[in-house]
Amino acid sequence: MTAARALLFASLAVITAVGIWGVVDSAGLVSVASAIVEQYFRSRGWFLMLTVSGMLFFCIALAFSRFGDIRLGADDDRPEFSTASWIAMLFAAGMGVGLLFWAVAEPLTHFEFARQYMTDSVAAEQALVTTMFHWGIHAWGIYGATALVIAYFAFRRGTPMLVSAPILYLFPQERWARVVGWSSDFMAIIAIAIGVGGSIAMGVFQVADGVNVMMGGDGAASWLVGTVFVVMVACYIPALLIDLGSGMSKLSNLAMLLAIGLVVFIVIFGPTEFLLNSILGSFGQYVTDAIPRGFQTFTFFGDQVANWFRGWTLTYMVWWIAWGPFVGVFIARISKGRTIREFVLGVLIGPILFSVIWFGAFGGIGLFETLHGAGELATVTANNAERATFALLERMPFAVVTTFVTVVAAFLFIVTSVVSAAFVLGTFSTGGDPNPKPRIRLVWGVVLGYAMILSGSMDAVKKLIALGALPFVFITVLLMVCLLKALKEEIMQ
């Protein structure tokens, strides 16, 4: 049996076993996952934050170093996609559906927690800044560092598009490298399947709730969630069978246009002056706080704050690491021909600016209503997070239209996430083929659909994603070392 086939069978066996466990005893699965993740966060939370900040500094340092002009490919290679389409695909693959889900819910959740310790005005500002931190430059630093390593070795050194490729390329005769390399690919597949499957399940919950809102219901019934899931699978299967460029580019561009339209609508028809001020002010505060907060572990603030830190910040950081292999390989695939400097600046600036505006608008209007005495949104958020965005839209003009647009955008983000994840899993399971055959992508699309049914709640989603990603934290450090070694060798030649 070849190493690639052994990797495929082993990963499918683990995913199947976890799936059966989740169906038979979902509470037991979540309980075990929670215990492992909680212990890791308590004992190694500092290491996780240090790793995440290190990945960000790694990207920035390379962009402004003598290595920044090195092209991800041959010296005469040029980008396959336009910058606008490239950034749209980055964003859609990296975190599109999550932004729709947490647009209102996360800032309001942080606000309700923070107001226990500070005035409402300060709590509101900190709620937006904290949300931006969770979705900002550190998240994209994780994606960027992983993608940069894979893209450099694949397009500059001719290796397969695998997490293990840099390790095996630099240490071809070392037995430990073969063991670590195989384990890296195995852990990457598990992290992708569980992480992406769980995250997409979150999107399915929201789409179902949005459809329920348009139908006049109070909550999405299980049959409606199941129907949305079936329809979604039926829609993403054709996308798996067409070319990556024509498929992902068009879907991503459409999803981004809808998202931009929603932001513009919120700013124009909401309290415009308040929202523009909140976007600018919170962005300025985020720029000031981002780097120091990357090293903050809230050691001296008591158990309640420490539990919040583990439940939100550490969970988010490990969430992005779980998506790192998937988004990293996908970003690498669409970034051939760009220089390291162009790559880093595009990954770190483009998607982040949109995230800041997005949360500043949606989160800002949610905080505006709460600060002015309307507590309904906070209540909705506490009881049903997936409904918070729709509850906000119901208070705005043209609610039926905007709710429909949000549902369609969420649906498209789900489809693009599945298509890109299936593409990456196909690459892994074929020994690094940069263009896996449609039938291989289709198989993995079905597996991801199966993985989605493991989670019936946000708690389950968070814990399973964290559990799948924990082993991969250590691999990211080794990958950065490999890239530095290879770049140094190239400059010295």
In contact, 72 and 339? CB cutoff 8 Å: yes
281 vs 240, residue with greater confidence: 281
pLDDT at 95: 64
pLDDT at 451: 59
Q: How confident is the model at residue 64 (pLDDT cuts 50, 70, 90)?
A: very high
Give mean pLDDT, residues 73-83.
85
The yes-or-no verdict on residue 108 having pLDDT over 90 is yes
Count of CB atoms situated within 10 Å of the CB of 149: 25
Query: For residue range 344-358, what is the model confidence (pLDDT) as tens digits?
Result: 998 888 878 888 899
pLDDT at 275: 92
Residues of the chain with pLDDT > 90, as a percent, come to 28
Helix, strand, coil shares, percent, the chain, to 5: 80, 0, 20
In contact, 163 and 475? CB cutoff 8 Å: yes
Going by C-alpha positions, the residue among 444, 452, 415 that lies closest to residue 93 is 415
Q: Model's pTM, two decimal places?
A: 0.87
Going by C-alpha positions, the residue among 132, 59, 52, 36 that lies closest to residue 296 is 52
pLDDT at 15: 74
The yes-or-no verdict on residue 313 having pLDDT over 90 is yes
Radius of gyration from C-alpha coordinates of the chain: 21
Handedness of CA 323, 324, 327, 330 (dihedral sign): negative
The yes-or-no verdict on residue 146 having pLDDT over 70 is yes
Query: For residue range 358-406, what is the model confidence (pLDDT) as tens digits?
Result: 999 999 998 998 888 766 787 888 877 777 888 888 888 998 899 888 8
Least confident of 87-101, 177-191, 350-364, 425-439: 87-101
pLDDT at 23: 67
157 vs 435, residue with greater confidence: 157
Q: How confident is the model at residue 51 (pLDDT cuts 50, 70, 90)?
A: very high
Question: In sequence order, what are the beta bridge partners of 14?
Answer: none
Q: To 10 degrees, the CA torsion angle through 90, 92, 97, 102?
A: 50
The DSSP call for residue 161 is S
The contacts of residue 205 (CB under 8 Å, 6+ apart) are 101, 220, 225, 386, 458
Give mean pLDDT, residues 141-164.
90
The yes-or-no verdict on residue 293 having pLDDT over 90 is yes
CA distance 199 to 457: 11
Report the CATH number that the domain containing residue 80 is assigned in CATH.
1.20.1740.10
pLDDT at 119: 92
Handedness of CA 368, 373, 376, 379 (dihedral sign): positive
Least confident of 54-68, 270-284, 402-416, 454-468: 454-468
Number of domains in the chain: 1
Q: How confident is the model at residue 90 (pLDDT cuts 50, 70, 90)?
A: confident
Q: How confident is the model at residue 419 (pLDDT cuts 50, 70, 90)?
A: confident
Kindly write down the DSSP assignment for every residue of 442-467, as one continuous string: HHHHHHHHHHHTT-SSHHHHHHHHHH
Residue range of the domain that includes 135 = 3-492
Query: For residue range 194-234, what is the model confidence (pLDDT) as tens digits?
Result: 777 766 776 777 777 777 777 766 555 566 666 776 777 77
Give mean pLDDT, residues 468-492.
85
